Amino acid sequence: MDELTNEQKYTVAKFYKLYMERSNSGQTEEEANNFKDSITAQDDYFCDRKYSDFLENCKVLIDHGYLDGNIMSDRIDNIKVTNKAFTEIEQSFN
């Protein structure tokens, strides 16, 4: 994750935290890792961030393999945390 800015690291770490909270509350892995689209995710979880900045950070995270999603011109659909992100975040705990 050295290639990421602190803001991008924050974004993927928050998605990871949200996934863990959802999973621990009984959601299936698939449900816990479904963050819908960038508009919903920003409204629900990143409302303290400007949408255009959040969108660009998500695009970078997709380009680097930390998030998965379908990039459109003004949004990203089907946002999910990737195995690469899970692995690197969990390895950082050691």
Radius of gyration over every alpha carbon of the chain, rounded to an integer in angstroms: 12
Give the model confidence (pLDDT) of 14-32 as tens digits: 999 999 999 999 999 999 9
Q: What percentage of the chain reaches a pLDDT higher than 70?
A: 100
**What pTM was computed for the model?**
0.93
The structural domains of the chain, ordered by start, are 6-91 (1.10.10)
Q: What is the pLDDT of residues 35-83, one digit of tens each?
A: 999 999 999 999 999 999 999 999 999 999 999 999 999 999 999 999 9
What's the mean per-residue pLDDT of the chain? Answer: 96
Burial environment of residue 14 by CB neighbours within 10 A (0 to 12, 13 to 18, 19 or more): middle
